[in-house]
Chains A and B, each alone.
Chain A
Amino acid sequence: MISRKRVVEAEIDQDQAAAVADETLHKRTREDLLISSAVAEETSVMEVDNSQVNGMQIDADGSKPDDIDEDLHSRQLAVYGRETMRRLFASNVLVSGLQGLGAEIAKNLVLAGVRSITLHDEGNVEMWDLSSNFFFSEEDIGKNKALACVLKLQELNNAVVVTTLTGNLSKEKLSSFQAVVFTDVSIEKALDYNDYCHNHQPPISFIKCEVRGLFGGVFCDFGPEFTVSDVDGEEPHTGIIASISNDNPAMVTCVEDERLEFQDGDLIVFSEVEGMTELNDGKPRKIKSARPYSFTLEEDTTNFGAYKKGGIVTQLKEPKILKFKPLKDALRDPGEFLLSDFSKFDRPPLLHLAFQALDRFRHEMGRFPLAGSEEDAQQMIAFAINLNESMGDQKLEEFDRKILRYFSYGSRATLNPMAAIFGGIVGQEVVKACSGKFHPLFQFFYFDSLESLPVEPLEPSYFKPLNHRYDAQISVFGSKLQKKLEDAKIFIVGSGALGCEFLKNLALMGVCCSPEGKLTITDDDVIEKSNLSRQFLFRDWNIGQAKSTVAATAASLINPKLHIEALQNRASPETENVFDDAFWESLDTVINALDNVTARMYIDGRCLYFQKPLLESGTLGAKCNTQMVIPHLTENYGASRDPPEKQAPMCTVHSFPHNIDHCLTWARSEFDGLLEKTPNEVNTFLSNPDVYASSMRNAGDAQARDLLERVLECLDKDRCESFQDCVSWARLRFEDYFSNRMKQLTFTFPEDAVTSSGAPFWSAPKRFPRPLLFSASDPSHIQFIMAASILRAETFAIPVPDWARYPKKIADAVNKVIVLEFQPKTDVNIVTDAKATSLSTASIDDSAVINDLITKLEECSKKLPTEFRMNPIQFEKDDDTNYHMDFIAGLANMRARNYSIPEVDKLKAKFIAGRIIPAIATSTAMATGFVCLELYKALSGGHTVEDYRNTFANLALPLFSIAEPVLPKTIKYRDMSWTVWDRWIIKGDFTLRQLLQWLRDKGLSAYSISSGTSLLYNSMFPRHKDRMDRKVVDLVKEVAKVEIPAYRRHIDVVVACEDEENGEDVDIPLVSIYFC
């Protein structure tokens, strides 16, 4: 049970609500706000160094520079940035209509953190509403809808003021809001409200949306002139200059390190250009002829200074002004519809008409069309024809009556997956309206998922309401599919953001909600604070508890009939005793709710093996994708892959960083080396010195030598016994990292070093480093010392004194440290003298050095207390008080300073070094909605691949790209053909020789047979010939060390073979040998 630990105080009195809203009304006009903050944002970009380093100082003194709870909102901050979040926190939003759609929108906005949200609904909860609004339970029937939601919504985020309006909404009340959303309003009323909002000063952003059965639509009007500050949410692209011509137009080429991402017409600014310094004036310039590594400027540079070297170009993001049409004009002249599915390119105009016809029907008849009623459908079609006639030049030549009929049948129902999709879309549009971040939807969007209907014909009797919570869903899909949903056996892998949304969706849809049904959910993670801004089944009192258990309990509250089991096992080869064959075979469908590719690949492999449908999805910031993997119909998840993440070359990270990412990568690896690996190594040595020594002697290589040197250093020269020792260590690290190493590097490669061809060694993208001079009065130096010495103290279990947190005291302590003058090593240069023929000291045989080191180490350990151990520190990004990120940001920024690379603040450093995946509630909810529309198909059965849909969407643009899944690749060999879903089965306990013969009978010559990563047979390995008469199953057990559970009757091997006739490789299916 979720405990109700806190008393939630939500205001539910409508007068009071209005009063609050009035108070919070912005006095400044919105344009003012947008323009002034846009300017502020630009300046802050320019002055990144100063302002953000200042920010760090304030941080360190314990007071936050602003009121954003960065622990709670870190994943969302990574998407929006601080400025957008601040604007969001200042916004008051109205959501009118609290069926499923209104609930989804309100949930997304409360999680995002607007200032206030006002729920408006004049109607009462009916049984019918329980299929889509997860805040309602059966006890709420008869209560006002807004009142029934308010407490549960408030629980999601105490920082948001949630109020209700249960009476008539006069349009004057709208003036209290920056954005208003109507989910269930007649066109007549909508026109009135919209007119008021459009002409209000400042304009009020107006959104109207509806979901009706498998159809949905949105309309946005953000006023006559709306400024978008960031049209796509992408980081500005940059390039490193290699040359600039003195020409008209001027040609700029960049280093072939990374492809440029500029497009013609983009605005850019130059910096750090040497020679042609006229370009460093900070003026935006427009580019033309953008190519992968070059572009031209519309500028005459003939008389400019000649380009010498250096220079960076940075894309400048231009604000965009949108002129929205009011609803009354847009209805008549809707303009371009945002298209989502190219196989339905002609559908948006039809749906535009259908929604108006439905509005007319409701207006005339005072009700919705009845499910399955041909008479009502005909009536609605008649309205549509009528409307079409009056459309003038927008008139449709012909339209599909079948689609209109289905629209009519299901129009009364709000389906949860549709509400989740449109709740995500509209939630994002509200964020755009309040912040100017991302491009708004301009202006109509329609979507339908008719393919979700069962393939067999639906009899009108199937739609009959049964007076239970699924009646709305039954009115669309019929009771037969409802039964299938309830009896389904589903496995959800992961209980994070996607998992929470899925649980809510499935509970509302009634999936796994009969005694026969069974939902298994697993996740090995526990709840953290940063989860709460989107994993909406969790509350702050759940922090530290198992995700799957808490989520399952919360889902059972949404629908008590949900038959769910929550496990804490990571889905991986190690848990195949839990998720065994019987478990997999019992499943109908698997839903991935994962956050990493490795686990996705593993589940994909399992689903492929057990022939189970896999519904896959993922999000990244405002983007999401869904992929359906259906046995024999589609390719599997692993069949297509994204290119692996770009990694900076080692030498770049090592000595030649040219951006902050390189510095952060280096900082991360130094953190691990100093604080985790070396202490671990020390402990390994101490726990068994003899074993350690002999293993090092055995290895006998340079790496072993390096490890020993580190361990010895840690226990001998650098051992800390007091906090002052730690400060000294930190100070000397500073000297080594940011002064000595730079001196050595520039000694080895002086600034004027040239290659054999005379080209400068230090040419772009390499940046010439300069050593830092330590100064106790530089706050960032002291910050570094503070973080480093506190962490060092932790590894030596030295208590951290209170004064360690005061920069002044740290400065005093650091001034006591004696730092020796550095002399660069010159052994490279002396090779020209007589000694050159003998190898220098650095290259003496490792084994001798290792022996020497071990002796010293043994000496040294005798002086240690017997129980002495170090405390290795594992990097934890999400704790703001543990100094981990302070240390990493310090390391990276000091290094950046060496190379004159712009520094970053701790938050930005955390995003990059902590590999924080940006995540928001809107795109997550939408992704699960799309998947659940597919779940209807997967569980209903009989659908062809043409009915399934994969989705890619980016709410920032916004963009929807929905298409049929890709077919599995078919391999043909002689008269056979197969796909990845097929398997060759051998009945009989074959020996290796028999297996080879069995393949030869098919004309195939096998040259390699393996199990997992182990080789059972390779035709080139002479000793494998001895295995010919062994049973394959025994080889699997012995060589691959596979444990075969007692119940399993087969093993699988991968065979690489070629066609005996032409010697070509034939990619044959997995071979399963049933040995008993």
Chain B
Amino acid sequence: MSSPSKRRDMDVMKLIMSDYSVETINDGLAEFNVEFHGPKESPYEGGVWKVRVELPDAYPYKSPSIGFLNKIFHPNVDELSGSICLDVINQSWSPMFDLLNIFEVFLPQLLLYPNPLDPLNGDAASLLLKDKIQYEKKVKEYCERYAKSKMENISDGSDEDISEDECNTGSDTDGIAGDADP
């Protein structure tokens, strides 16, 4: 029966505690970005995506809205908007789930086991069905082009105001992010 706002705080905390880089905008918790690494032993390995998380007022009763900010070639992710078609995040969401589930389980599973039968990106699905090798090739090309590690990925001015709020607990070990650049 925690108040929704407290659940929000707790969930974000859990993410940070699990070494996820969380990028808030002016300390707001209604929407923020999380860095997501493609799972090992998948064609997405090595790719790093910025994932936008929007927590509705009714969170956790209402599901968060999740979208890839940089491009990804995947049957269940809309190439244009980055939105994801995944039942656990949409239709079968339960308040028992939290953000950590999304980043530890749901998204890695989605990338490991794409479902070409319910495609949002028809081209990707069709390619996966017809020619898995070409599909994986294209996935890797996309990773190379759009999802290289974050340091290089931060480019234009629009990121300046957010990067100051970045935080990463793992900064001492993997040294990727977290340095404020005022």
B10 contacts A by Cβ under 8 Å: yes
- The answer to whether A702 and B71 have CB atoms under 8 Å apart is yes
- The answer to whether B10 and A1008 have CB atoms under 8 Å apart is yes
- The answer to whether B167 and A1021 have CB atoms under 8 Å apart is yes
Please indicate which of the listed interface residues A700, A745, A754, A839 has the most CB atoms of chain B within 10 Å of its own CB.
A839
Q: How far is it, in angstroms, between the C-alpha of A719 and the C-alpha of B179 when the chains are bound?
A: 49
B110 contacts A by Cβ under 8 Å: no
- The answer to whether B13 and A1020 have CB atoms under 8 Å apart is yes
Q: Chain A residues near B6 (CB, 8 Å)? A: 1054, 1056, 1067
- The answer to whether B91 and A649 have CB atoms under 8 Å apart is yes
Q: Chain A residues near B83 (CB, 8 Å)? A: 650
B119 contacts A by Cβ under 8 Å: yes
A1046 contacts B by Cβ under 8 Å: no
- The answer to whether A1010 and B5 have CB atoms under 8 Å apart is yes
Q: How far is it, in angstroms, between the C-alpha of A103 and the C-alpha of B82 when the chains are bound?
A: 58
- The answer to whether B27 and A1016 have CB atoms under 8 Å apart is yes
Closest CB in chain B relative to A87 CB, distance in Å: 38
Taking CB atoms and an 8 Å cut-off, the chain B residues in 69-94 that contact chain A are 69-71, 76, 78-83, 85, 87, 90-91, 93
- The answer to whether A1065 and B10 have CB atoms under 8 Å apart is yes
Taking CB atoms and an 8 Å cut-off, the chain B residues in 123-153 that contact chain A are 123, 125-127, 129-132, 134, 137-138, 141-142, 145
Closest CB in chain A relative to B14 CB, distance in Å: 10
B176 contacts A by Cβ under 8 Å: no
Proximity bits, A1060-1076, B CB within 8 Å = 1, else 0 = 00000101001000000
Q: Chain B residues near A392 (CB, 8 Å)? A: none
B120 contacts A by Cβ under 8 Å: yes
Which chain B residue lies CB-closest to A1020? Answer: B16
Q: Chain B residues near A829 (CB, 8 Å)? A: 130
Q: How far is it, in angstroms, between the C-alpha of A649 and the C-alpha of B17 when the chains are bound?
A: 32
Q: Which stretch (A5-13, A272-280, A732-740, A830-838) binds chain B?
A: A830-838
Whether A703 contacts B80 in the complex (CB less than 8 A), given A651-B85, A749-B126, A755-B129, comes out as yes
Q: Which stretch (A453-461, A539-547, A638-646, A852-860) binds chain B?
A: A638-646
Q: Which stretch (B33-41, B54-62, B99-107) binds chain A?
A: B54-62
Please indicate which of the listed interface residues A649, A755, A1039 has the most CB atoms of chain B within 10 Å of its own CB.
A649
Q: Chain A residues near B145 (CB, 8 Å)? A: 839, 843
Whether A1010 contacts B117 in the complex (CB less than 8 A), given A650-B83, A756-B132, A969-B1, comes out as no
A820 contacts B by Cβ under 8 Å: no
Give the residue of A650, A748, A1067 whose beta carbon is less than 8 angstroms from that of B85. A650
Give the residue of A639, A836, A1022 whose beta carbon is less than 8 angstroms from that of B137. A836
Taking CB atoms and an 8 Å cut-off, the chain A residues in 607-650 that contact chain B are 639, 641, 644, 646-647, 649-650
Q: Chain A residues near B2 (CB, 8 Å)? A: 1067
Please indicate which of the listed interface residues A639, A703, A828, A1007 has the most CB atoms of chain B within 10 Å of its own CB.
A828
Give the residue of A641, A761, A836 whose beta carbon is less than 8 angstroms from that of B134. A836
Closest CB in chain B relative to A803 CB, distance in Å: 39
B162 contacts A by Cβ under 8 Å: no
Closest CB in chain B relative to A432 CB, distance in Å: 36
- The answer to whether A1023 and B127 have CB atoms under 8 Å apart is no
B175 contacts A by Cβ under 8 Å: no
A556 contacts B by Cβ under 8 Å: no
- The answer to whether A1018 and B120 have CB atoms under 8 Å apart is no
Give the residue of A755, A827, A1007, A1020 whose beta carbon is less than 8 angstroms from that of B117. A755
Give the residue of B24, B55, B90, B130 whose beta carbon is less than 8 angstroms from that of A1015. B24
Q: Chain A residues near B16 (CB, 8 Å)? A: 1018, 1020
B30 contacts A by Cβ under 8 Å: yes
Q: Chain B residues near A598 (CB, 8 Å)? A: 57
Q: Chain B residues near A980 (CB, 8 Å)? A: 1, 3
B158 contacts A by Cβ under 8 Å: yes
Give the residue of B13, B178, B180 whose beta carbon is less than 8 angstroms from that of A1007. B13
Q: Which stretch (A495-503, A587-595, A652-660) binds chain B?
A: A652-660
- The answer to whether B120 and A651 have CB atoms under 8 Å apart is yes
Closest CB in chain B relative to A899 CB, distance in Å: 15
Give the residue of A646, A651, A836, A969 whose beta carbon is less than 8 angstroms from that of B119. A651
- The answer to whether B5 and A1054 have CB atoms under 8 Å apart is yes
Q: Chain A residues near B178 (CB, 8 Å)? A: 1022
B122 contacts A by Cβ under 8 Å: yes
A224 contacts B by Cβ under 8 Å: no
- The answer to whether B118 and A656 have CB atoms under 8 Å apart is yes
Taking CB atoms and an 8 Å cut-off, the chain B residues in 9-27 that contact chain A are 9-10, 12-13, 16-17, 24, 26-27
A336 contacts B by Cβ under 8 Å: no
Whether A832 contacts B131 in the complex (CB less than 8 A), given A745-B122, A1018-B16, A1020-B167, comes out as yes
A1014 contacts B by Cβ under 8 Å: yes
Q: How far is it, in angstroms, between the C-alpha of A1021 and the C-alpha of B171 when the chains are bound?
A: 11
Give the residue of A639, A698, A1007, A1014 whose beta carbon is less than 8 angstroms from that of B28. A1014
Give the residue of B58, B85, B129, B134 whose beta carbon is less than 8 angstroms from that of A649. B85
Q: How far is it, in angstroms, between the C-alpha of A559 and the C-alpha of B32 when the chains are bound?
A: 54
Q: How far is it, in angstroms, between the C-alpha of A520 and the C-alpha of B180 when the chains are bound?
A: 51
Give the residue of A699, A703, A1040 whose beta carbon is less than 8 angstroms from that of B81. A703
11 contacts between A and B (CB under 8 A): A601-B58, A749-B129, A755-B117, A755-B129, A831-B138, A980-B1, A1013-B5, A1013-B30, A1039-B27, A1040-B27, A1067-B6
Nearest 10 A/B pairs, CB to CB: A1008-B9, A1013-B30, A651-B85, A1015-B27, A1056-B9, A828-B123, A651-B120, A748-B126, A1020-B16, A651-B118
Q: A652-B118, A763-B117 are in contact. List 8 more A-B contacts (CB 8 A).
A: A649-B85, A650-B90, A698-B156, A701-B70, A831-B134, A836-B134, A1021-B167, A1039-B27
* Chain B residues at the A interface, C-beta cutoff of 8 Å: 1-3, 5-6, 8-10, 12-13, 16-17, 24, 26-30, 55, 57-58, 61-63, 69-71, 76, 78-83, 85, 87, 90-91, 93, 116-120, 122-123, 125-127, 129-132, 134, 137-138, 141-142, 145, 156-158, 167, 169, 178, 180
